[in-house]
A and B are shown apart, each in its own frame.
Chain A
């Protein structure tokens, strides 16, 4: 009971500081400081020492580096004609699909998830490119932002994935197997999202602008030519990973260089372009990374308060049957997801939740995929949801607007979890097929 009170008090601090209008990254640092000071009773010098240690560790971490580089790549696409051509090129092909270009969010994120292991990087890069184009063309803003929030988190489920690597190392499971296990569930979520967009577009034609033109064969050829720059770019980045030339963590740099090369070949490269894209990338990525850094400090504070471990201990003492355990664990992870970021949800709870899951007979690979899905959901739940923050920054909409837009996609992820629980083969079939 004590633990739940501490958790409630931490959440209250969070709502208070965010509500007062402090910048999000400052709010998170304030929550951590207040929680350690008031709830743990630490003195300020110890809190300061913890803060400096964690902030140094996290702000100099290699994992963070992919974010500004991917965002820079996105800026180059955004400020050259690569993005306009992409949408012009896609248009003829999606004319007969209900929802038309709205699917670029979902498919774009799915494709981009195959190079990026992080959710904010996926959301920011794809979102930067698509929100303007879709908005100018008159697509429904809310459906556009919601699908981005939902699909951006696919960066975690579709390999490569940072969270899966962390799970694999901690749970002593094969990372290759985990990566294979994430593919089909990722595609399933993609299908759920696309199906939902089609349904919405069918039911409410006002969400999608009307089409006028009839297209000739020539139009399709021209459209293919328009798609070329982005296809080349993605081929280079994906190719560098799957031939082993670059590690997944290095792919972002390959993406930047390839994008600059394409800009040069298409005669759009200039010093102005470099300066504008760099400063633009800096502005988005500093917003995202500063929040990630102080969120790490807040996670540490929550760890010092023993909240995740104590609650997980409580769940262990309930001695639930497998299905009951799964439901309770899911509620627990949804709750953690309100205020923790991706990786820390996994590291803080795993020493207790993994043995529980294994004892209840769940497959460790399956459990990893399930956990990643829970982490994906945490990306779109307020008050701390990274995809929501990223989209607020990109679109200028308020966080509550973005959160409401993301709600249907959150529900679809829940449906995905339920399907995964009923049909574990969705996760396990591919790794078993590859590795026996």
Chain B
């Protein structure tokens, strides 16, 4: 069999590397029976939000998609991008394990299965100063990317602005925006040090990205092939989680080499204030999503 796997992100991104790793592992473990072609950078024309139905309908056999774009399909996909909920990599992993059955269920209801999920590096604030207190954020125009970040930044006293990622460099160089909320990896990718001098690791959220597979494509496989694909998915998942640590450390080094100041830790007081700024959105999300959200949150807090 040959599968087309679509991804919105560049081949060099963490998620691009994970997808390539998965494709290679599948080919090796099935002895070349299944050939996965990865189409990086939205080469097939699909964005993450389109992947959900494209894979369900079998327009694509597989895709690598960011959960943040699926929040309108099912609110459960908001969980991993809830702000300041899971500060460490271990927290992110625990949250993933707790929510996994819910993710799997939603995907299965839509004729597809979850093969693996890996995290994005946690977002931080790029700007021309370090942000270490709410006072530093006051009146700062921050480029945000979704409802959660917009609400949280607003509550924290800054001005959220939503513009497309493509317009960010121009808007920074004309000071139409002052700061950008994105991961170290996202900023290093566009060499943001040419426009910004500081990175503050506020540990906003490590949202998840999944590789998912059409169920008909899965049903067409033999028992051995299924086992091989499962195994490849597990290996790729380990690889993706492993990338996270190294990548962030390496990105911090790159930033410093290019003359940036990196603030790796923020004061506990500021961290507490940010968590409070995020709370209204989180509460609203739990109310909207219902019992399944509440039970995951309970399990997460009492683990």
Contact = CB atoms under 8 A, between A and B. Distances in A.
A429 B154 CA distance: 42
Interface in B75-92: none
B45 A300 contact: yes
B175 to A, nearest CB: 6
Interface residues of B, number: 38
B164 interface: yes
A43 to B, nearest CB: 10
Contacts of B169: 174-176
A172 B12 contact: yes
Interface in A45-66: 46, 49-50, 53-54, 56-58, 62
B157 interface: no
Contacts of B12: 172
Contacts of B195: 176
Interface in B174-201: 174-176, 188-191, 194-195
Nearest to A168: B190
Nearest to B42: A347
Interface stretch (B46-54, B126-134, B241-249, B279-287): B46-54
A241 interface: yes
A46 B58 contact: yes
Contacts of B194: 174, 176-177, 435
Contacts of A309: 37, 39
A94 B176 CA distance: 39
Contacts of A46: 57-59
A314 interface: no
A252 to B, nearest CB: 13
A397 interface: no
Contact of B166 (A165, A242, A245): A165
Contacts of B54: 49-50, 53
B166 A350 contact: no
A351 B19 CA distance: 13
Nearest to B169: A175
Contact of A53 (B50, B163, B165): B50
Nearest to A61: B47
Interface string A394-436: 0000000000000000000000000000000000000000010
Which secondary structure dominates chain A's binding surface?
helix
B58 A351 contact: no
A248 interface: yes
Contacts of B175: 244
B58 A299 contact: no
Contacts of A58: 45
A280 interface: no
B170 A244 contact: yes
B37 A54 contact: no
B11 interface: yes
B235 interface: no
Contacts of A243: 174
A249 B171 contact: no
B102 interface: no
Interface in B135-169: 163-167, 169
Contact of B10 (A171, A174, A245): A171
A108 to B, nearest CB: 23
B11 A169 contact: no
Nearest to A310: B37
Q: Which of A49, A53, A57 has the most CB of B within 10 A?
A: A53
A350 B10 CA distance: 9
B167 A249 contact: yes
B243 to A, nearest CB: 15
A245 B177 CA distance: 10
B28 interface: no
Contact of B41 (A173, A297, A351): A351
A22 B205 CA distance: 51
A304 B4 CA distance: 8
Contacts of A168: 190
Contacts of B173: 176, 244
Interface in A156-186: 160, 162, 165, 168-177
B273 interface: no
A289 to B, nearest CB: 16
A285 B192 CA distance: 35
B221 interface: no
Contacts of B176: 244-245, 247
B189 A172 contact: yes
A55 to B, nearest CB: 10
Contacts of A160: 170
A296 interface: yes
Contacts of A247: 163-164, 167, 170-171, 176
B44 A304 contact: yes
B73 interface: no
Nearest to A62: B164
Interface of B: 4, 10-12, 37, 39-47, 50, 53-54, 57-59, 163-167, 169-171, 173-176, 188-191, 194-195
7 contacts: A165-B166, A169-B10, A174-B169, A174-B194, A175-B190, A241-B170, A299-B45
Given A172-B10, A303-B45, 7 more contacts: A46-B59, A172-B189, A173-B190, A244-B176, A248-B170, A303-B39, A351-B41
Closest 8 CB pairs of A and B: A244-B174, A244-B176, A174-B191, A247-B167, A172-B189, A351-B11, A165-B166, A300-B45
